[in-house]
Structure 1
Amino acid sequence: MIRRRILLGSALAVPVLATPALAQSKPVTLVVPFAPGGPTDLIGRRLAMALHDALGQTVLVENRGGAGGNVGAEFVMRAPADGSTILFGTSGPLAINKMLFPNQPYDPVRDFAPISPIGRIPNVLTVNASVAARNVQELIALGKRGERLSFGSSGNGASSHLAGALFNRMAGTSFEHIPYRGTGPALNDLLAGHIAMVFTDVLTALPHVRDGRLRALGVTTEARSSVLPDVPTVAEQGLPGYDASVFFGLVVPVATPAPARETLRAATETVLKQPELRRWLEQQGMQLAPDFTPAALTALMAEETARWGVVIRETGARAD
């Protein structure tokens, strides 16, 4: 577990909101349920800085990684329900994990109250430059001709695994899944040509696409990515409805009083409408949510649970 103080003096000029509904005697803690250094941690820290300015209170970031985000989520579930502990959740702990971990110790709907969705970050289907496919349809054709191609992921049950499983299901291909212990090892084997493809986040893929070692075939959201605007989506290349992005949202323990939840919601909406933060998030590949209400996050969690439930049941996917 790593805990750091978000310093005063953020570059974001955000009006301070009155916060009588939050306990002034202790800081607000934003729990990132993954290790430091990854995209979720980076975005969580920038968001915490902005919330500090909006709330006029100290905001701490606490990394509690493990079990695909479940360790951090369980920690927040058991935290005092006073608005002082927030989970910066993703698709895994907020929707998908309960179908991958038979003994998950919490239920995201029963045990959390939604504050706000943040947005989505797409993965991008990337292939080694030696693969004889320039677009998604050519890749599908290779698979249907019997080419033995494999896709790597950061582990069983990870978004990069499920993205490939969904692709196989919709395209009628049977690309072999090779799980790794993290994105780094999978990417190294992709660069070395040991595997054919990886579904990874756009920022991780970008430098390797630019230097020509990898080829980006398709973005996994329904809309193109601002980071890779010239790369078409998988959906527009013959697989309509394909969407394998990672969503982000804020939740608190379910018993958190309504005034505290409203204070956090209002602060979140305030900062997410600031042009400077919006630009920064978009530079990280984030596609911001069109609606920052708790109801929007509730609907998103239900939609993702239903959609991935079908894929998980049909493929038998399980977490490591």
Structure 2
Amino acid sequence: MKSCLLRIFLLAGFSFAGVPAFSQDWPKAPVKVVVPFDAGSTPDAAARVIGDRLAARLHQPFIVDNKSGAAGNIGTDAVAKADADGRTIGVSIAGPLGVNALLFRKMPYDVSRDIALVTIAVSQPSVLVVGSKSATKDAGQLLALMKGASRLSFASIGAGSISHLAMAALVAQAGGDAVHVPYRGSGAAVTALLSGDVDMALLPAAAVMPHVNAGKLRALAVASPDRSPSLPGLPTLAESGLPDIKGDAWIGFIAPAKTPAAVVQNLRDQIVQVLSEPAVKDKLRMQYMDPVGNSPDEFRKLLAADVARWKPVVEKNRITLD
């Protein structure tokens, strides 16, 4: 009996001894970075900028794998169900990590059980824009127009997206009315704005600012508590009398839930160091992205706050995706 117990303890010791070695050696093979949206999307851009530098630092390829569909659920589910061996990680956003659970009757994964939150890498302000031919010159004028007899329309990158929910909240707080027109992605939404098919939108800065700079759209405000470091000249919606509208488009790194804690910590530390590199900051700023690099606990609290913020908007507007 004693010899049997001894063998068990020895085996256990060898097992635990292997965990630090595995963690320290990570990554020993190429790492797949699953992006739950199409190539060219803002999560894709962030994954590629950061992944390239992780590859250089850790001497293994970080290969972006785009798995779009179901409002980000398909790609996020691929991470949740991947082997927890450090060879698959992902990026995701507020929708598939939290808000989608309010929109779908059944989710293919449980974030609290199936996913390890690593860090929010970047945050991008959402920008309230109108067409360049609009008579509206600032957010105050647009709010006044909403309260009048005019029935305006707004584009979003899809029903239930942050661009939809934040705009619905803005219209409600302004005491106005507007027609929601959902599109598949920011490119189509911007095209609708440029053609005059819709009057306004609240979209990620990277999608609209090139057109603003070209004089084809007019930026009125950012939907963030404070002015964005990327767009310091744009006032916030709070400055225009709507302090409760927050539509930052953050992008976070995730991993399968059972990924060794030391690997998750190493990944988080490496990402934070990458985000501090001047060349990376410059590339992200070109995409109007501000580096974050917070802790898993801070990530979890921000995600919970987002869900709490959007739940009443979803319920009031009876938004569903199935």
Q: Tell me the equivalent position of 1:305.
A: 307
Instruction: Tell me which moved more, 23-32 or 68-77.
Output: 23-32
Runs of 4+ in structure 1 displaced over 6 angstroms? none
Please say if residues 220 and 235 of structure 2, whose CA atoms lie closer than 8 Å, have aligned partners that are also in contact. Answer: yes
The TM-score, its normalising length taken from structure 1, stands at 0.88
- For the pair 1:278 / 2:284, whether they are aligned, the reply is no
Q: Which residues of structure 1 form unaligned runs of 5+?
A: 1-17
Q: Is the 8 A contact 2:34 2:88 kept in 1?
A: yes
Report how far residue 44 of structure 1 moved: 0.7
Q: Equivalent residue for 1:287?
A: 290
Partner secondary structure for residue 317 of structure 1: coil
Match of 1:12 in 2: none
Q: Is the alpha carbon distance of 1:293 and 1:192 closer, same or farther for their aligned partners in structure 2, counting shifts above 3 Å?
A: same
SS at match of 1:104: coil
Choose from 19, 34, 43 the match for 1:40: 43
What is the distance in 2 between the residues matched to 1:149 and 1:282?
32
Q: CA separation in 2, counterparts of 1:252 and 1:56?
A: 20
Match of 1:265 among 260, 264, 268: 268
| Alignment of structure 1 residues 202-241 onto 2, 5 Å | 202-241=205-244
Question: Any conservation in 2 of the 1:202–1:227 contact (CA below 8 Å)?
Answer: no
Q: Deviations over 1:83-111 (max 9, x none)?
A: 22111111111121111122211122221
1:110 matched to which residue of 2?
113
Structure 1 position 239, deviation (Å): 0.6
Q: What is the CA distance between 1:20 and its match in structure 2?
A: 4.2
Which residue, out of 100, 103, 108, partners 2:103? 100
Task: Give the superposition deviation at 1:132.
Answer: 2.5
Q: How many angstroms does 1:142 deviate by?
A: 0.9
Q: CA deviation at 1:265?
A: 1.7
Amino acid at match of 1:59: F
In the alignment, does 2:181 pair up with 1:163?
no
Once residues 69 and 115 of structure 1 are traced to their aligned partners in structure 2, the CA distance between those partners, rounded to angstroms, is 18
How many residue pairs get aligned? The number is 302
Counterpart in the other structure of 1:82: 85
Which residue of 1 is the match for residue 74 of structure 2?
Answer: 71
**CA-CA distance at 1:278 after TM superposition:** 2.0
1:24 deviates by: 4.8
Match of 1:244 among 244, 247, 255: 247
Deviations 1:280-313 (A, max 9, x none): 2122111222x52111111111111111112111
Deviation at 1:131, TM superposition (A): 2.6
Find 1:124's aligned residue among 104, 123, 127: 127
Query: Taking structure 1 as reference, are residues 255 and 20 closer, same or farther at Cα in structure 2, changes over 3 Å only?
Result: closer
Q: Deviations over 1:18-40 (max 9, x none)?
A: 97445555311111111112222
Larger radius of gyration: 2
The residue type equivalent to 1:243 in the other structure is K
Structure-1 separation of matches of 2:59 and 2:197: 51
Equivalent residues of 1:22, 1:83 under 8 A apart: no
SS state at 2:84 partner:
coil
Provide the TM-score with structure 2 as the length reference.
Answer: 0.88
Describe the shift of the 1:159–1:258 C-alpha distance in structure 2 as closer, same or farther (beyond 3 A). Answer: same
Structure 1 residues 79 and 60 mapped into 2: Cα distance closer, same or farther (>3 Å)? same
> Amino acid of the residue matched to residue 176 of structure 1?
V
Query: What is the RMSD of the two structures over their aligned residues, measured on CA atoms?
Result: 1.9
Is contact 1:116-1:294 (8 Å) kept?
A: yes
What letter is aligned with 2:30?
P
SS in 2 for 1:232: coil
- Deviation string 1:215-263 (CA, Å, 9 cap, x unpaired) is 1111112222344332211121111132111111111111112122122
> Match for 1:315: what amino acid?
N
Distance 2:59 2:294 in 1: 21
Query: Which residue identity does 1:130 align to in structure 2?
Result: K
Q: Is the 8 A contact 1:22 1:260 kept in 2?
A: no
2:184 is equivalent to residue 181 of structure 1: yes
Q: Residues of 2 paired with 1:233 and 1:284: CA distance?
A: 19
Between Structure 1 and Structure 2, the one with more helix by share is 2
The aligned runs of 1:26-37 (5 Å cut-off) are 26-37=29-40
| 1:14-29 matched pairs, under 5 angstroms | 20-21=23-24, 24-29=27-32
Q: Secondary structure at the match of 1:181?
A: coil
Q: Cα offset for 1:197?
A: 0.6
